[in-house]
Amino acid sequence: MTTVALVPAAGRGERLGLGVPKALVPVRGVPLLVHAVRGLLSAGRVRHVVVAAPPAEVWSTRALLAAHDLPAEVVAGGADRTASVRLALAHALAVHPGTRVVLVHDAARAFTPPLVIDSVVEAVLGGAPAVIPVLPMADTVKRVDAHEVVQDTPDRAALRVVQTPQGFEVGTLRRAYAEAGDSATDDAGLVEKLGVPVLAVPGHAHAMKVTTPFDLAIAEAVLAGGSA
């Protein structure tokens, strides 16, 4: 059963504010994208990796991954994450028609433990059409209106924080993207619109997304083997 991983890495990293695409920002001297692709391949479950890079960085991204001995295909990404995944998915379906399982994994979640990747793939192979790694909410959450007036307090016990890789039976993801009218912040959101069940499995703190300079400091500590 061939598993392909799509890696959206075409974002600009504006909240990080370093003036370079986030995927190219180094952690311990190595770009986030390299950490992410290496992690995916080292989990031993992924046959092909398709990276969506910033359009101006396609060739340099190919060279970067080759320099680190990482076999990956690189396509130009789109204007938002959904567009980038759509382009990477189209490439994967065209070039790897035997694909049965598709993972979608943010380059920004570069330190996801292999165990998380493994359990997502296992759950899809076990028959779940869509699988997402999640964590419980640590904080109380409020819903507010447009004026920041609190409306209510959802039951935290029923809420989850969502990570990647998200895993899909190939036909389910293809259909979700074929029928998607708009963008979503995650791929499972598009699958939910089909009415297809999405299964949550345990994620991991190290699968955090590097979004802000604070997150980058945490990532440095995680990679150093600290207790972050």
Residues that bind ligand CTP (CB under 6 A): 8-15, 22-23, 52, 77-81, 84, 106-108, 209, 211
Query: Which residue has 């993972």 as its token pair?
Result: 103
Restricted to residues 7-26, the positions that interact with Mg ion (CB under 5 A) are: 11
Kind plus residue range of the DSSP H or E element containing 175: helix 170-179
Q: Cβ closer to Mg ion: 60 or 211? A: 211
Out of Mg ion, ligand CTP, none, what residue 9 binds, judged by CB under 5 to 8 A for its kind, is ligand CTP
Contacts of 19 (CB under 8 A, 6+ apart): none
Sign of the torsion angle spanned by Cα atoms 16, 20, 24, 26: negative
Cα(112)–Cα(128) distance, integer angstroms: 21
Name the closest residue to Mg ion (Cβ).
11
Q: Cβ closer to ligand CTP: 78 or 129? A: 78
Cα(136)–Cα(161) distance, integer angstroms: 6
State the nearest-atom distance from the C-beta of 22 to ligand CTP, in Å.
4
User: What are residue 131's phi and psi, to 5 degrees?
Assistant: -135, 135
State the nearest-atom distance from the C-beta of 31 to ligand CTP, in Å.
12
Out of ligand CTP, Mg ion, none, what residue 15 binds, judged by CB under 5 to 8 A for its kind, is ligand CTP
Burial label, 199 (beta-carbon count in 10 A; 0-12, 13-18, 19+): middle
State the nearest-atom distance from the C-beta of 152 to Mg ion, in Å.
28
Out of Mg ion, ligand CTP, none, what residue 129 binds, judged by CB under 5 to 8 A for its kind, is none
Name the closest residue to ligand CTP (Cβ).
11
Strands (E) in 106-198, as ranges, are 130-136, 143-144, 150-152, 160-162, 166-169
DSSP reduced 3-state for 163: coil
Out of ligand CTP, Mg ion, none, what residue 8 binds, judged by CB under 5 to 8 A for its kind, is ligand CTP
State the nearest-atom distance from the C-beta of 86 to ligand CTP, in Å.
10
Out of ligand CTP, Mg ion, none, what residue 211 binds, judged by CB under 5 to 8 A for its kind, is ligand CTP
Whether the CB-CB separation of 89 and 82 falls below 8 Å is answered with no
Which of the ranges 6-14, 137-145, 169-177, 215-223 carries the binding residues for Mg ion, by CB under 5 A? Answer: 6-14
DSSP reduced 3-state for 74: strand
State the nearest-atom distance from the C-beta of 175 to Mg ion, in Å.
25
Q: Cβ closer to ligand CTP: 58 or 125? A: 58
Q: Which residues bind Mg ion (CB under 5 A)?
A: 11
